[in-house]
A and B are shown apart, each in its own frame.
Chain A
């Protein structure tokens, strides 16, 4: 049994490396994803996850590291959304949607110039968790530490922003400034995670564990903790299933995380329907 659960990681260094990188992705995504869920930033998270595609594709065409292109793509996305929202009467979700599809299409156009079109596109969208290098792990570690440190420093304004941005402003924490800090954290997480789980699936890691945490937690701190635990367990189980069933690692990780959300959701629904179960006040009114 132990061999079944631990053996693959003990006997295959590439899998152990993938586990370490995946755990770091899970922790970064738990911290950032908590505020993505609390503030309803899922759409811009999705847009950022896909907005980096043309940057990565362009960098690959030029022979540059994909991460450099991802940074350029993320920065373009953030400034683009803000510029369109500010200079038009359109709501931010329209601006995000426009840039989202525009960047995605541009990314596909750029990738289609590549001779290995399908391989590159699949690699970018779904990552290559089993092809992680030691350098990738170090970059992921630094990014995770930075994300956690910035979140600790900005915990109060982030909490106020989630509660009421106007209150954050009046309390002396400029809401727009900390909103931008939050966007940068999302971008950093997406950029450094695309190698592990891909740009498509990093969005799943941002949302699924944090969404499950929101179902289980009664305080923001415990929501982050639940999200991290669920994320890490998802990485471990996903990689294990991937190894034994010979399926894609990144997708397996995200599938486990999403499955955990629905298991908790169904369990809570069943529990709440049991006779004598207290109904929240707002549900009564």
Chain B
């Protein structure tokens, strides 16, 4: 880890009445947040809800438009050697001639400045990061020859190679398969175990539930706090504009009865929370989002059961037994 060590209760991030946005136009305002070392904070919300704007403000890419914000004891962006950031857009097209290892190695640049020599410790950090994301065999493959999921694993390895105190990740599991997601979750747990703090924007509510705090965003701050307090039916309805209930072992959107394609997007699309990765719903603290009224509605899904949406004529689909809403962001 770089820079001054952080103790278990050391403040990593302190925000008070923080407003984030562009050119004095606030996208989200009124954020109060205290994050200590080793915590995982999830930002959940629809596209355009302000998740990426918050993350960019935390790493210093955007100036806060109001309130106060301190990151690792200083202003955002003042400690580049201690922060790793995974954005959403990279030059991965046919032009950029980079091998996977080159991309991961770029994660070590911040520690060495313009001309600092990279040595054995850097090589080891790169090797370890490649192994953690399961892409050692791809190390010398051109990035442009990889699939989207393999590229995303490469970008995650780059973040891990940073060995930073604060990891800020914008939709890190976008496009990666189940095995890649498992490796990512393990890596995040390991990072937290060594004292790093992870702040992640995600559509994956199951991942959000694993964290210590959740911010629900919908172009404003809907709720902030522990997952069990925040991921409630009312908050999710307010955030996503969809009502959820559990039918048997499945989580069901009452707003998307036309959705047929279970295998691809589970009817939620990009603007809704992604429940489709929730392989361990049964073992998670999902009480807060066990929707619907009847006793069967509270039955947790068995481990490994993928939640799915019913077809329109699904006899189990009882539109009268849960809340509905027309509200959408």
Contacts and interface: CB of A to CB of B under 8 A. Distances in A.
Nearest to B83: A170
A218 B89 contact: no
Interface stretch (B14-22, B38-46, B139-147, B299-307): B139-147
B99 interface: yes
Contacts of A92: none
A40 B146 CA distance: 21
Nearest to A168: B109
B284 interface: no
26 contacts: A38-B96, A153-B114, A153-B115, A156-B112, A156-B114, A159-B109, A160-B109, A163-B98, A164-B91, A169-B61, A169-B77, A170-B61, A170-B84, A171-B109, A172-B80, A172-B81, A172-B110, A173-B109, A214-B97, A218-B97, A222-B97, A280-B144, A282-B145, A282-B146, A282-B148, A285-B148
Contacts of A167: 85, 87, 90, 106
A167 B85 CA distance: 7
A162 B91 contact: yes
B106 A220 contact: no
A156 B109 contact: yes
B60 A169 contact: yes
A273 interface: no
Contacts of B113: 156, 172
B102 interface: yes
Contacts of A173: 109
Contacts, number: 88
Contacts of B142: 218
B291 interface: no
A129 interface: no
Of all A-B residue pairs in the complex, the 10 with the closest CB atoms, nearest first, are A172-B80, A171-B110, A170-B85, A280-B145, A281-B147, A217-B97, A156-B109, A164-B90, A170-B59, A166-B87
B175 to A, nearest CB: 10
Given A166-B61, A167-B85, A159 B106 contact: yes
A172 B95 CA distance: 25
A222 B142 CA distance: 13
A157 interface: yes
B150 interface: yes
Contact of A163 (B61, B80, B90, B150): B90
A39 to B, nearest CB: 8
Contacts of B288: none
B103 interface: yes
A37 interface: yes
B114 A170 contact: no
